[in-house]
Amino acid sequence: MKFYIKKMAKDTLGLTIVSLVLQGLGIFLNALISEKIGTASVGVMTLIFTLFGFIMVLANGNILISTSRFVSEEIGCGNKNVKQIMRYSLGFSLTLSITFTAASLMLANVISNFTGAGIGLAKPIRIIALSLPFASVGSCIKGFFNAVRKAHVACCGDCIEFSAKWVFLLFSVLVLVDKGYDIYILIALSILIGEFISCVFYLAKDTLI
């Protein structure tokens, strides 16, 4: 019992430290980007990230926590149906995320007008919509690794997503914006790239699918 408590405490501490480090780096990178593109564009960038987070909550049905709970309960009962639970979780999350992807693609203009940003965000919203299935699958598998107490995999996934997203975004701000590329489309692409690469990482780590 003491071993499991110690393991949980270690995992919780590790996840907390990684989260704090990534949040700190995010603030630092936001400051750098703000100097390059101006506070107005950074405000819209924050709006895009917030919009993605909101749509993601609707699109994945909080599948990370649900999968983690179902898998941990299955393991605790001594049953061996974890693979079946993962298939159900992935099927549910994909169905929900694809539905919201289709809805976001069709309603991109409406959502753009609803944000009240005063600029056309329809194309960035459509790009963000394409990232929803990857984000849902990644969240589902991440929930599995949390359930089996392999927090280091989840930490690596978070770091990979953060790195891919911000490296592309910094490259875009420092190089592509000056060449006439739309900064808001590039921001949306950074989200898509980050979710796709982290999803590939989780799929490579998971042996149950």
Residue 75 one-letter amino acid: I
pLDDT at 200: 93
Q: What is the mean pLDDT of residues 145-152?
A: 81
52 closest CA partner among 179, 208, 187, 201 = 187
Q: Is the pLDDT assigned to residue 191 strictly greater than 80?
A: yes
| 29 C-beta neighbours (distance < 10 Å), count | 17
Identify the band that residue 113 occupies on the pLDDT scale cut at 50, 70 and 90: confident
Among 3-7, 16-20, 52-56, name the one with the lowest average pLDDT: 3-7
The DSSP annotation for 137-194 comes to: HHHHHHHHHHHTT-HHHHHHHHHHHHHHHHHHHHHIIIIIGGGT--HHHHHHHHHHHH
Q: Bigger pLDDT: 180 or 14?
A: 180
User: Mean pLDDT score of the chain, rounded to an integer?
Assistant: 80
Cβ-contact 126, 108 below 8 angstroms? yes
pTM for this model (two decimals):
0.82
pLDDT at 114: 77
6-to-11, 147, 150 alpha-carbon distances in Å: 9, 15, 14
Identify the band that residue 192 occupies on the pLDDT scale cut at 50, 70 and 90: very high
Q: Bigger pLDDT: 193 or 4?
A: 193
Identify the band that residue 7 occupies on the pLDDT scale cut at 50, 70 and 90: low
pLDDT at 60: 76
Q: What is the pLDDT of residues 50-73, one digit of tens each?
A: 877 888 877 776 788 888 888 888
Q: What is the DSSP letter of 61?
A: T
Q: Bigger pLDDT: 160 or 43?
A: 160
The DSSP annotation for 91-114 comes to: HHHHHHHHHHHHHHHHSHHHHHHH
198 closest CA partner among 124, 126, 137, 128 = 137
